[in-house]
Amino acid sequence: QMRLVESGGGLVQAGGSLRLSCAASGSILPINVMAWYRQAPGKQREPVALIYIGGNTLYGDSMKDRFTISRDNAKNTVYLQMNSLKPEDTAVYYCYMYVNFRDYWGQGTQVTVSS
C-alpha cells in the first residue's frame, strides 16, 4: 500500500514563498501522475498543478505564473514551489498520485497567506 507524506505548509505573508514536498513510500511501480490540489474553506477541491512521468505539466489558471511543480522520480517525490502568494491561496493543499490504476492522496498540509 503506497503512502504519501506531505511537508512544507505554514503561514506566510502575502508576496512570500513556500515550497511543498510530498514523498511516496511503498511504491515499486513508476508513478504516472503526480499533482497538487487545494481546498479552501467552503469551496470544492480544485487542481493546482499536475506533472506526468515524462515531465509535462499542467497548471490551474490562477497558478501558472506563480507556481512551479517538479518531481524527482528516483525519490518518488513531487514538489510545489509557490511564489508571490496571495491571501486567496490560503487552503489545505493535497498531494495526489496515480499509479497502477489507483488514486492516492496525502493527508493535506495547511497553507495560510496573511494580508
Amino acid (one-letter) located at 14: A
**Does residue 27 have a pLDDT over 90?**
no
Residue 101 makes CB contacts below 8 A (sequence gap 6+) with none
Range of lowest pLDDT (8-12, 27-31, 106-110): 27-31
CA distances from 15 to 18, 53, 71, 112 (A): 10, 31, 24, 12
The SS3 call for residue 65 is coil
**Does residue 93 have a pLDDT over 90?**
yes
**Closest to 38 (Cα-Cα) out of 100, 114, 105, 115:** 105
Q: What's the mean pLDDT when you consider all of the chain?
A: 95
The tens digit of pLDDT for each residue in 39-77 reads 999 999 999 999 999 999 999 988 889 999 999 999 999
47 vs 28, residue with greater confidence: 47
